[in-house]
Structure 1
Amino acid sequence: MDFDWDDLRLFLAVARLGGLSAATETTGLSAPTLGRRLAALEAAMGEALFRRSQSGYALTPAGEDLLARADEVEAAMLALKRWKDGAMGARTVRVSAGAWTSAFLASHVGEIWSVEDKFGLELVTANEKIDIGRRNADIGIRNQRPTEPYLAGRRVGTVAYGLYSGRQLINGVAAGYFVGLAGSGAPQTQSARWLQARHADRIAVRGNDAMSVRELVANGAGLSVFPCFVGDADPRLIRIAPLITELETEQWLVCHHEERHHPAVRAVTERIAILLNRYGSLFSGHDPQGAS
């Protein structure tokens, strides 16, 4: 069969992120449209590529085989793009991080990119690690030291977590209920797993993305767990208990050991390091007022 690169791109997005809903943000397509495109790809290949369940999409052996080959195609396409960008004097630096960290970077974009830069910036939001080795991102912000031999890591701080409520003790908050995360993203976040393990019987309301959970908590639906750099910076939320020490993680800036020397990648890496260092007390939970 003849492969359409766009179909392979969609397949890669779902395979890496583990479900349709997570891939909607990176592909720009709705979940039903993604589902139809993947079903058509499977029909054309004559075998299933995914095992579908309520917890997400898992690759079949055929899917694993296609993933390995599609990775190679993508690497070649990225190399062509970078060759073209280089010929035109332009480059896009891709930064991968979780939803909250990506939102933090977006809110401080002026400190990591400007119109005077000779390169573009792309934020790649995902709960799972993006493969930097295959150049799916240039820079990753991770919660642990990289173990891959081709990656270089730099610790930039710690991330603390706390239990938060809205400032008005109404509705679920007054009743002592919790707000949880629903959908394919829930098993991929340590805070959601912690909440489910300890308070599953008290989770009365759920949202299918992190931002929805924050809005629910801020408006009195119940209590939930957030990174301190999220909860402490939101004036609608209040931390109601000591830090959850078992959820504390390290924060690492990760690059490919060769790409880190590219001027554009080096510039963005240094700017992000400076930014995260400046807000270090907020990330570590020692700035309860969320001051800048």
Structure 2
Amino acid sequence: MDENWDDLRLFLAVSRLGGLSAAQEKTGLSPATLGRRITALERQIGVPLFVRRQTGYVLTEAGQDLLAHAEEVERAMLVVARWREGTQTQRSVRLSAGNWTTDFLVRNIDAVWTSDDPAIEFVMANARIDIGHRAADIGIRNARPTDPHMAGRKVGSVAFALYGTLEQSPDSSIVGLSGDTSTSPSARWMAAQLGHKMRLRGNGVHAVRELVAQGAGLSVLPCFIGDEDARLCRMGPVIADLSTEQWLVAHHDERHSPPIRRVIEKLVTLFDEAGPLFSGQRPGAIHPEAEQG
């Protein structure tokens, strides 16, 4: 048997995404081509790797075993790729965070990066980027990592509150979130608690903040965003149900790499200094009619 990395790469994509159509964008191959390649791999190995169902592809016991081995090969290939990148050019550190945290980091870039530091690539996404498979080097997350390959360091907490402008009333209508952003805890909380007052929605957090700043309605924002915007004021107390922890997450194999270690140390210092802002202890303006707890 002469397996090659390309076959295993396609197998990993179908395994993780649960089917041929779902893996089409990831691999760049059509479902028909993927199906032929997977069937050829099964014939080469001599056992079925998937159970074909109308709802997708489900791994057999042999497929589960191969998945574990293929992930080991993937990790080794990524290490080789990183080594090759390092011999050709200075590597960059990929930093994954949500929209608001990335916004904060960009506004405080001098605390995170100088021209003498490794290059940083910001990987901003609503969905969680997979550090375990090296889609990013460092992640800023709202919970301790549970993957045994991941190392985590708690760097504080994040508080949320309702924000508007001084010209508005705490009873004003609500600006909600739609699309991918509507799945965040704050968006779900607004929909459940204030959905009856929702008159406007936006599918991007920055658009929602601008609508609030223009007086179009109120919305829930992280305190480290709302309290630093001079156009906004708190319309009520910190929302206890939405408070979360803040964690720096990196892969065990690479967290001691000098470029990654350097960025982590700077992030730890920045979040430590900004701790009161993130935890809601440094309020900006508070609306005169707001009830503070």
> Could you say which TM-score interval applies, normalised by the shorter chain?
0.7 to 0.9
Structure 1 segment 75-94 matched on structure 2, within 5 A: 78-94=78-94
Amino acid at match of 1:122: E
Change (3 A) 1:36 1:259: closer
The change in CA–CA distance for 1:183 and 1:197 in structure 2 (over 3 A counts) is: same
Residue 116 of structure 1 is matched in structure 2 by 116
What's the offset of the Cα at 1:184?
Answer: 2.3
Q: Which residue in the other structure is 1:177 paired with?
A: 173
Residue type at the aligned position of 1:186: S
2:209 counterpart SS class: helix
Quick one: which amino acid aligns to residue 148 of structure 1? Answer: D
Aligned to 1:154: 153
Contact 2:173 2:218 in 1 (8 A): yes
TM-score, scaled relative to structure 2: 0.73
Kept after mapping to 2: 8 A contact 1:167/1:218 = no
Q: 2:269 aligns with which of 268, 274, 282?
A: 274
2: CA distance, partners of 1:210 / 1:63: 36
In 1, are the aligned partners of 2:234 and 2:284 still within 8 Å (CA)?
A: no
Aligned to 1:249: 244
Q: Does 1:131 align with 2:120?
A: no
TM-score by length of structure 1 reads 0.73
Counterpart position of 1:206: 201
Identity rate, percent: 47
Which consecutive segments of 4 or more residues in structure 1 shift more than 6 A?
35-40, 68-74
Cα RMSD of the aligned pairs, angstroms, is: 3.5
- Contact persistence 1:180–1:196 (CA under 8 A): yes
Greater alpha carbon shift after TM alignment, 70-79 vs 269-278: 70-79
The 1:39–1:90 alpha-carbon spacing in structure 2 relative to 1, beyond 3 Å, is closer
| d(CA) in 2 for partners of 1:71, 1:180 | 40
Counterpart in 1 of 2:185?
190
Structure 1 runs not aligned, ≥5 long: 16-34, 48-59
Distance 1:281 1:174 in 2: 24
Distance 2:177 2:75 in 1: 34
1:44 positional shift: 5.1
CA shift in 2, pair 1:278/1:134, >3 Å: same
Q: Which has the larger radius of gyration?
A: 2
For 2:112, the aligned partner's letter is: I
SS in structure 2 at match of 1:103: helix
Conserved 8 A contact 2:170-2:235: no
Q: Number of residues paired by the alignment?
A: 249
Note the C-alpha offset of 1:146. 1.1
| CA deviation after TM superposition for structure 1 residue 168, in Å | 2.8
Structure 2 SS opposite 1:233: coil
Gaps of at least 5 residues in structure 2 are 1-5, 18-23, 37-54, 286-293
Distance 1:159 1:40, change over 3 A: same
Once the two structures are TM-superposed, the CA of residue 138 in structure 1 deviates from its matched residue by 1.0
Matched, 1:99 2:99: yes
Matched residue, 1:50 = none
Q: What corresponds to 2:20 in structure 1?
A: none
Aligned to 2:167: 168
Task: Show the counterpart of 2:21.
Answer: none
**CA deviation map 1:22-70 (0-9, x unaligned):** xxxxxxxxxxxxx9999983465479xxxxxxxxxxxx634999xx799
